[in-house]
Structures are given as structure tokens and as C-alpha cells.
Amino acid sequence: MERVDHTRLGAWILDGDISLSFLLKFVLSEETYSDTTIMFIVSMTTPWNILDQLQTWAAILQDHIDKLKISSHDLEEYRNKCIRKYNEYVEQGDDAEIDSNFKRTSRNLEDDQDMLQLGEGILTRNIGLDVVVVVTKTDYMVTLEKDHDYRDEHFDFIQQWIRKFCLQYGAALFYTSAKEDKNCDLLYKYLTHRIYGLPFQAPALIVEKDAVFIPSGWDNMKKISILYENLVSMKPDDYYRNIISPPASARKNVVREVEITAEDEQTFLQRQYELLQGTNNVSGVPKIDTTQIRSSPGVQKTGDRRLSNSPSIQTQLSSTKKMDTNKPGSANPNEGVLANFFNSLLHKKIGSPRGANDSSSLSNLSTSPSSLRTDAVAELDKLAARKSFNTSTPLSTKDSSSTSKTQSQDLQNSFSEC
């Protein structure tokens, strides 16, 4: 039966957020130190930030390691283990035949006494952990050449700086592109090889600029110096950000987040209380002028409210429309007298005895119809008497009574219709 190897491990991702660096204490501890692999991931979409990001996170990792309670003996043992792994790397090749008695390494070591000897710049910052550096989205190099005028020497300049960083920590280097499917499977196989000891036969890749693979133990300063031959307009030791500088658009889009500190609850409530009291005890807070709020036109409650272009309903109802009897087509004087009569009914108590208070409720209009008819008849009698006086035509008691009855009947009909 064919044997299948299964690999399981926990992966912890800080997602490049420095504020989450405190979570390292849950991952890298004294108990898990020897079984941990560190992976630094940067992106080719922002090559001007690559070196700063690597150095920043390496410093954060080193600070965390310094706080761990690991004995000097154990830490030295971890570091010697990394040195032996680096020196024991066997350079792979298609035509290389390796037997158990001879191992052709990148340094051609002759005996085990040189196992702890290192070359120039190698493992100068040995932290005793396996480290892998991954540069993602290398397919973006085409865009950098087109839009930002990058040339091959710029990519060689970037690569030689990254490889020098990897030498200091004894780290492997991968250039990957998920879009172009470059080195993704190779990275997975290499991780299983370093963590679980599974076989790995792939050689180093340095021909294609967007698919570089340099395993831990293969590189040295002599091999890195080959890249110097392509640097024409720059020097290898030039400051990284002077050569690989961010474009103007990237500088403008940088927005720094401002940290907001919550105010103490009691302080906030005290300040609001003082504001409501109209005091000036709080520095920098203007005093609220409550008189302006009270005198605002939108909340007037005085008799001048009709001046703010919003007359009250009471004013509209109480205002009477005077009739001009001189205009042609206007009502006759008798209709004007009737209008005044009905208006007078709204302002005095109807059906009350003489001398009584005239400020009673207007609801008597609906509750005293007999009183209403009596006053109407009396008013009509006055109109009839005035008309007979003006025309000098005597009216008999019978005619006056019949006329009054007729007009009284018409008035009663009018009220019934209303």
C-alpha cells in the first residue's frame, strides 16, 4: 500500500500590522522556539518599501526574542543548529551524483571541523530560527518597466539588497507570482522540507528575474557580486530609497491614521453640564448665548408673531373683511347691515338677558335657536322701520308684521341651510 505523507501545522499571520506585534507572545515562546519557522513577505508592487519592511519586522522579532526567558546555553544551541544547516546544504543539479561519503556543498568543505565557520556577511544576525523571505506579485515588474521606467539594473539593485538581508539571517529567498503561477508549488515543497524533513531536489534559480529561488545555504557574497556588473548608473552601496524611490502619486496617497483617544466619561459630562449652565470655566469652549435661542424668529410666542410671515390661525379667523359698498357690483346696504349683525352675534352672548356678561361661550349658537330667532326678528324690525322712515311711506302694522314674518322666515331658512 502506497504511503502518503500528511502535514499539519498552525500558521499565524500578522498581516503587516505593527500594532498586532504583541500577538507574537502567543506564537513564539520558550516551548515552541525550536519548532518555529519565520516567513517575511513583501510585495513587488511597492519595491520602495521592501527593505524598510524587512528591517522593521526583523527588529520587532529580535526585540521579542530578547524578552523570552531562554537560557544562553539553549539559545547558543539553536544558533549552532542554524549554522550547521547552512553549511550542510548540498547544491543540487541535474547531473550531480551524490553518495553518502561525499557531499558537494556551496563551500566545498573538506571536514566537519569547518562546519561552524562562516563566510563574509553570513548569519551575522543569527536568531536560531529558520527564516524564509518571499517577494510576491513579481508579475508587476512589467508595469514598473512601463509606467515607472524601471530597467534591469533597478531589479538587480533590489535583488542584491534583499540577498544581503537574507545572508544576515541565513534565510531562503523566493520570488513568487500567483497570477503567473511561478514558484508557488516550489515554496510549498521547500517549507515541508525545512519543517518536516521531506526530500527536496530543486536547485537554485537565478536566471529569470521574476522567478528567483535561492535556498538557505546556497548564497554568499561572491555570488551576489555578479549582480554588480549590471549596475551602470548606480552603485551597490547606494542608499536604497535614493535609487528605488516612490513615485509622486504614491507620496500623495499616503494618509497617516491619527490615533483617537477616548475622553473620560465624567470629564465629558462635567463639561456638558457647565455648558448648559452658561459658564466659561472650560477653556477653549465658547459660552452659549441662550438669549439668541429664546428670541429666534422660529419660536416666537408673542403678539408680534404675525410679523415673521407666518400669521397665526387665530389672527386669520378673527380678522373681518370689510365690504366696500361704493364699488360697482358690490352688495347693497342691507346686506352690509346683515353682515355686521352676524359679526356682532360672534362677540356677544346670544339669548342672555340685558346687562349680563357678554363674554360667554359661542356655543349658545347651537344650543339656543329660539333666542337666535327672537334677536333676528328684532333686528329685522329695525331694518323695516329704517326703510319706512327713508321712503316716507307709512307701513301698517299688518304689513310690517307680514314683512317681518317673511324676512324672519328667510333668515331662519338661511340658518337651517348653514
Q: Give, in order, the Cα–Cα distances in Å from 58 to each of 61, 162, 194.
A: 5, 13, 20
Look up the pTM and report it.
0.58
In the structure, what pLDDT confidence band is assigned to residue 91 with cuts at 50, 70 and 90? Answer: confident
Q: Which residues, 6 or more positions from 384, have their beta carbon under 8 angstroms from its beta carbon? A: 395, 400, 403, 404, 407
The helix or strand, by DSSP H or E, that contains position 163, with its residue range, turns out to be: helix 152-169
What does the pLDDT read at residue 210?
A: 94
Most confident range, picked from 10-19, 41-50, 311-320, 353-362: 41-50
Pairing status of strand 213-214 against strand 172-175: antiparallel
What does the pLDDT read at residue 5?
A: 61
Between residues 289 and 384, which one has the greater pLDDT? Answer: 384
Size of the chain in residues: 418
Angle between helices 333-346 and 369-391 (to 10 degrees): 150
* Mean pLDDT of the 359-387 span: 60
What does the pLDDT read at residue 96?
A: 43
pLDDT in tens, 312-349: 444 544 444 444 545 544 545 566 667 777 777 766 54
